[in-house]
Chains A and B, each alone.
Chain A
């Protein structure tokens, strides 16, 4: 919200510099997010008066006004169509800084010859002065503008752009801010004097008001002004609206807006003659009831919306927008003025539903106190009578079914100390509250006080609300900073958080870069993971209001995003890419929030080591992916089996399920070529995926200390020739089943000319060791022979010659 300081000054003396004042307000919760100085750049620009206008000898559209500047006179060339003898204008001499009317850039004015006539200076448009975008005409100042005065003194201002929190609708107006400033700077507030002459005929005889929905409309006030003349509002009023960011429309509309900005109470003006039955009924809309609003759009209402109606039908959507049928137009002569109080939630709902946000709506939905209606109604009536002529009917209508007494709140110095951790005296407390308009009455003891909230505040209900007011005025810097002194609460760390950290550390140690991708994805992305299209089962959770098609579904796995990340990085990375993500995936459940297991997904492809001047390039493969998984699980103390799997996104025969204790907890494998193609990847890429939440129970308490061997080991190498189809795992399982075998390492796999067709050679290094004695060759030879016998009888393996 924009508020000009010159306007504020009418209600409170401003004793601080604008930056100090901005800081003071900000600290107290009224954030000044911008300070705009109008006229800060108007060096040398002064008020001048046109005392002669001559035509330009060489151009029809240009003229040569002579401008009196008090001490001198200047004749300049001017192209504006609105030059008038006697008008006051803004004159810029050579050297003044202005805004170029066409480019919007700042420039310094130079003297120039225009169509053969020298011009040293110019009469400025609003755009050239940086006030508005209006450039066609020059600015015409009010007749009372003193000739020769610097324009900055006359028209300059400082405008605060305020960010008002939703709990402070009372600060959505000039008087509200003035009130805050008065409290924060210790000055007094002076409100406008409101009085106007009333006609003899009482208003009750000319209009009646009935509130049929008192729960949505606690108060409805109205006044009637007859004989008004619709036209433009005076320049000063237009200027203030513009400074606050509102567009002037006509005198009546401008006045209602002006009072809204001044008092914070939205008002609405009806053309009295268009109100049928001379009766206002505040009621719920009929379901499907239609009303054409001021913007000419027909709105269909529902039964939970509130309307202002006459005997024929609705004339406005309460608090949101007026109806076209009752609109004030050029021909209007009688104004029925409304100042009402509406239920905030109802207005919020209606405004959102009809997508009609407005200044009025924004104020109503934050909750404006009903007590504000009458002062604002009377102020508006006064200004209409003053500025648009006419006569106010005697009295006002005031229907007030929602009247409630303000209960005082008990406050004690002890309570303040309990919450803030610092003691304030009762005098300090009462002083702060009184400055904000609260009424304080001594309580039963010397440390207690009964506090009544002023009528304009809708946000004060509890003792703590008062405590905030006190500390706001006294200052948060008066609160000391202390460290928590209570004993430490019992800690129950969530083990999955530790597992996530550990997994992250291990994977970065393996050279993987962590990425974080959006949890929301598209069906298109998820479908890219399917080599053969089919509907997803189960369907991932969908957003009701997706921002874009790319962010419509909650990801059921991390795969698609990682593949997309791989693909995008491949465009600029020519070496190996290793990425991982640790994050939640979202699996729908019946009638409940989705399951959100912590997933871990890694992806790798490209060269194993950075391209180097040494050694040849080797590509990452399945066994790199598996090695990472094995290393990870080993460090986590988990024993896993790798079993053949059929994950459709991976190549058949080049993938393994990661099985722990009979449960599949993940998968590792090479991505299916069609999937890679869908992600525009043209190289083999490997993936591993682990459900960390499911893995968690297997990572706890499974590591047991093994004593370091005290007796030397004997190492034997054994190369076997065996059928190609027999897996390493089967050989390994047999070797490991023998006693004294401590470690088995596969160090060579060979198939080719040196072995028969259909066979391969597997070379193992077996470490024999006993925990009780030093082994002899004889002992080892015996076991080795037994191993060989079993491998031979069960797998048909023979020792390679």
Chain B
């Protein structure tokens, strides 16, 4: 009996070694380990054996069974490994072929810039508001200390709308978003902290640095105890977040009829870092925005008492910012709708 088992073990192992197909493993299992296999038969008939022989044969038969089962498992794993390796070899793909693309859309670079700016000011407690683009002369000029025949009107060439109102009030395309500030001063009770993005228009021919329509954002803060130091702090913080930690900023005196004192903020040139180059006209500085303490007459006209409230205001052109950031040299590209341009942002 032991002899038979020994032979069986050897034969089964040899056959197993010769198997190279996972499917054949199953028939091997049935043959040697199945219910009708010789080994199972031997095990089943153990009870009929004399006690001494039964013990020895039973132990050995079980040993053979465990051995064959382990061998089957090993062989099976080895075969699967080999099969995976073979199929990996066979099913190799060209990973340099391009992927399948879904169409990708992007926001216009000006929209992206406006979102970025509004987010920065929102985080400082500013609310985003908008106002009409077609505006009365009053909110664009008169309310902002720019009466008729004021020389400041010459610097903002105006597109007038051909429209007759009953009282003859002139209608125009707003030349700056400061018109929204004039409306806010009139309609919103202080404290006020708003930014006003939007389109503005100038009566100008197009060239690489001028377009008849562009974007601005104005800001207005009205509250008790607002100072020029707050203006500086707010705008420096904006500059730090938009242009980066190390970009130096400076204030210098400038004139806008609706603020006093008026300032212009400039940042260190992005190209030369302040050494002077063509972009910054050799000054090392790039003008970014105009600002100042809102003129008391402007507050008063809108119904805010300048003895109780002080206020600062600022206004900034948008196109210049992505132009500086990406090195765009022609402002008309923003409004040409050319996908070859727009897809770059």
Binding site for B on A (CB under 8 A): 23, 26-29, 31, 33-35, 165-168, 344-346, 348-349, 365-366, 418-422, 462, 464-465, 467-468, 471-472, 476-477, 479-489, 491-494, 497, 501, 504, 507-520, 541-547, 551, 554, 561, 564-565, 568-569, 572-573, 576-580, 583-584, 586, 588, 591-594, 596, 609-610, 612-614
Minimal beta-carbon separation of A780 from chain B (angstroms): 37
B13 within 8 A of A: no
Tell me, in angstroms, the Cα distance from A588 to B101 when the chains sit together: 44
Contact B255 A421 (CB under 8 A): no
Give the residue name and chain of the A residue nearest to B197 (CB): A497
| A418→B224 contact, CB < 8 A | no
Using Cβ atoms and an 8 Å threshold, which residues of chain B touch A510?
103, 105
B159 CB-CB contact with A under 8 Å: yes
- The residue of chain A having its C-beta at the shortest distance from the C-beta of B224 within the complex is A486
Asked if B229 and A345 make an inter-chain contact with CB atoms under 8 angstroms apart, the answer reads no
Contacts of A487 in B (CB 8 A): 191
A497 to B124, CA, bound (A): 18
Question: Which of B46-54, B64-72, B77-85, B335-343 binds A?
Answer: B335-343
CB nearest to B164 among chain A residues: A591
Interface centre among A464, A501, A507, A568 (most CB of B within 10 A): A464
Q: How far is the CA of A34 from the CA of B276 in the complex (A)?
A: 13
Inter-subunit contact B127/A492 (CB<8 Å): yes
B100, CB-defined interface residue at 8 Å: yes
Question: If the complex has contacts A489-B125, A489-B192, are A467 and B230 also in contact, measured as CB distance less than 8 A?
Answer: no
Whether a CB of chain A sits under 8 angstroms from the CB of B160 is yes
- Residues on B with C-beta less than 8 A from A420 are 227-229
Chain A hits for B115, CB < 8 A: 501
Residues 228-263 of chain B, each 1 if its beta carbon lies under 8 Å from chain A, else 0: 111011101100000000000011111101001111
Residues of B within 8 A of A501 (CB): 115
A480 partner, pick from B151, B232, B340, beta carbons under 8 A: B232
Q: From residue A464, how far is it (CB to closest CB) to chain B in Å?
A: 4
B223 close to A (CB within 8 Å) = yes
Known: A464-B296, A480-B229, A489-B223. A516 touches B111 (CB 8 A): yes
Q: A419: which of B100, B129, B227 is its contact (CB, 8 Å)?
A: B227
Minimum CB–CB distance for A133 against chain B, Å: 24
Cross-chain contact of B253 among A27, A492, A613 (Cβ < 8 A): A27
Residues of A within 8 A of B173 (CB): 519, 543
Residues of A within 8 A of B293 (CB): 419, 464
> CA of A481 to CA of B250 in the docked complex: distance in angstroms?
11
CA distance A493 to B118 in the complex (A): 12
Given A348-B150, A519-B213, A584-B133, 11 extra CB contacts under 8 A: A345-B149, A464-B260, A476-B253, A479-B229, A481-B233, A484-B124, A486-B226, A488-B193, A491-B127, A513-B339, A609-B101
B-chain residues with CB within 8 Å of residue A345 when the two chains form the complex: 147-150
**Cβ of B229 and Cβ of A547 under 8 Å apart?**
no
Provide the bound-state CA to CA distance between A345 and B199, in Å: 30
- On chain B, the residues within 8 Å of A421 by CB distance are 227-230
Query: Closest approach, in angstroms, between the C-beta of A337 and any C-beta of chain B?
Result: 26
Q: Assess whether A569 is in contact with B233, with CB atoms less than 8 Å apart.
A: no
Query: Do B133 and A29 have beta carbons less than 8 Å apart?
Result: no
* A517 and B155 form a contact (CB under 8 A): no
CA A513 – CA B107 in complex, angstroms? 6
Contacting residues, chain B, for A569 (C-beta < 8 A): 337-339
In the complex, how many angstroms separate the beta carbon of A610 from the nearest chain B beta carbon?
A: 5
- Write the nearest CB–CB distance from A586 to chain B, whole angstroms: 6
Does B132 sit at the interface, judged by CB under 8 A?
A: yes
User: Which one, A346, A418, A554, A561, contacts B134 given CB within 8 A?
Assistant: A554
Q: Are B98 and A613 neighbours in the complex by a CB distance under 8 Å?
A: yes
Picked from B100, B148, B162, B310, the residue with its CB within 8 Å of the CB of A614 is B100
B199 touches A519 (CB 8 A): yes
What are 24 pairs between A and B in contact, CB < 8 Å?
Answer: A26-B283, A27-B250, A167-B255, A348-B150, A366-B151, A421-B228, A480-B232, A481-B233, A482-B227, A482-B233, A504-B107, A507-B105, A508-B106, A514-B105, A514-B107, A520-B201, A541-B163, A543-B160, A544-B160, A569-B339, A583-B199, A586-B133, A596-B134, A612-B98
Given contacts A476-B251, A596-B132, contact A565 B337 (CB under 8 A): yes
**Which residue of A346, A467, A481, A541 contacts B161 across the interface (Cβ within 8 Å)?**
A541
Q: Does B88 belong to the interface (CB within 8 Å)?
A: no
The distance from the CB of B204 to the nearest CB of chain A, in whole angstroms, is 7
Q: Flag if A541 contacts B162 (CB, 8 Å).
A: yes
Nearest 5 pairs of A and B residues by beta carbon:
A511-B103, A421-B227, A421-B229, A29-B253, A468-B261
B57 interface contact, C-beta 8 A: no
Interface residue? B97 (CB, 8 A): yes
Contact with A along B30-68 (1 / 0, CB 8 A): 000000000000000000000000000000000000000
Contact B160 A513 (CB under 8 A): no
Nearest A residue (CB) for B153? A348
A494 to B166, CA, bound (A): 31
Decide: A577 and B160 in contact? CB cutoff 8 A.
no
Which B residues touch A465, using CB under 8 A? 260
Is B225's CB within 8 Å of the partner chain A?
yes
Nearest-Cβ distance from residue B11 to partner chain A, whole angstroms: 53
Docked Cα-Cα span, A517 to B171, in Å, equals 22
Say whether A545 contacts B159, CB under 8 Å.
yes
Q: What separation, in Å, do the CA atoms of A146 and B342 have in the docked complex?
A: 63
Give B152-174 as 1s and 0s: 1 = Cβ < 8 Å from A's Cβ atoms. 10110001111101100001010
* Most chain A CB within a 10 A radius of its CB, from B103, B108, B115, B155: B103
The one of A344, A482, A484 in contact with B149, judged by C-beta atoms closer than 8 angstroms, is A344
CB distance from A628 to the nearest CB of B (A): 11
Residues of A contacting B232 with CB < 8 Å? Answer: 476, 479-482
Contact of A541 among B134, B234, B254 (CB under 8 A): B134
Least CB distance, A346 to chain B, in whole angstroms: 8
A588: chain B residues at CB < 8 Å are: 163
Task: Kindly identify which residue among A26, A482, A493, A576 contacts B252, using a CB–CB cutoff of 8 Å.
Answer: A26
Q: Provide the residues of chain A in CB contact with B254, threshold 8 Å.
A: 29, 31, 165
B281 CB-CB contact with A under 8 Å: yes
Q: Mark contacts of B193-210 with chain A using CB atoms, 8 A cut-off: 1 yes-contact digit, 0 otherwise.
A: 100000101011100000
Chain A nearest CB from B334 CB (Å) reads 7
Check B130 for interface membership: any CB of A closer than 8 A.
yes
State the Cβ distance, A358 to closest chain B Cβ, in Å.
Answer: 14
In the assembled complex, the Cα of A177 lies from the Cα of B176 at a distance in Å of: 30
Contacts of B171 in A (CB 8 A): 593
CB of B151 to closest CB in A, whole Å:
4
B269 at the interface (CB under 8 A from A): no
A545, B260: Cα distance in complex, Å: 32
Residue of A nearest to B147 (CB): A345
Once A543-B159, A547-B205, A573-B339 are accepted as A-B contacts, the answer to whether A419 and B228 lie under 8 Å apart by CB is yes
- Nearest CB of B to A790, in Å: 40
- In the complex, B322 has a CB within 8 A of chain A: no
Chain A residues near B225 (CB, 8 Å)? 418, 486
Taking A514-B106, A541-B163, A614-B100 as contacts, is the C-beta distance between A29 and B337 under 8 angstroms? no
> Which of the listed residues B102, B147, B227, B334 has the most CB atoms from chain A within 10 Å of its own CB?
B227
- Cα distance, A35 to B343, chains bound together (Å): 40
Chain A nearest CB: distance from B339 CB in Å?
A: 5
Q: By the criterion CB–CB under 8 Å, are B100 and A612 in contact? A: yes
Q: Are B102 and A482 in contact (CB under 8 A)?
A: no
B302 within 8 A of A: no
Q: Closest chain B residue to A541 by CB distance?
A: B161
**Bound state CA distance, A134 and B39, in angstroms?**
121
CB distance from A499 to the nearest CB of B (A): 12
Nearest CB of chain A from residue B96's CB, rounded to whole Å:
12
Residues on A with C-beta less than 8 A from B152 are 166
Instruction: Select A514's contact among B97, B111, B132, B234, beta carbons within 8 Å.
Output: B111
Which residues from A are CB-within-8-Å of B262?
Answer: 468
B128 adjacent to A468 (CB under 8 Å): no
Q: Give the distance to chain A from B260, nearest Cβ to Cβ, in Å.
A: 4
Least CB separation from B213: chain A residue: A518
Q: Please tell me if the beta carbons of B103 and A610 are within 8 angstroms of each other in the complex.
A: yes
Q: In whole angstroms, what is the CA distance A78 to B201 when docked?
A: 56
Interface residues of B in 271-290 (CB under 8 A from A): 281-283
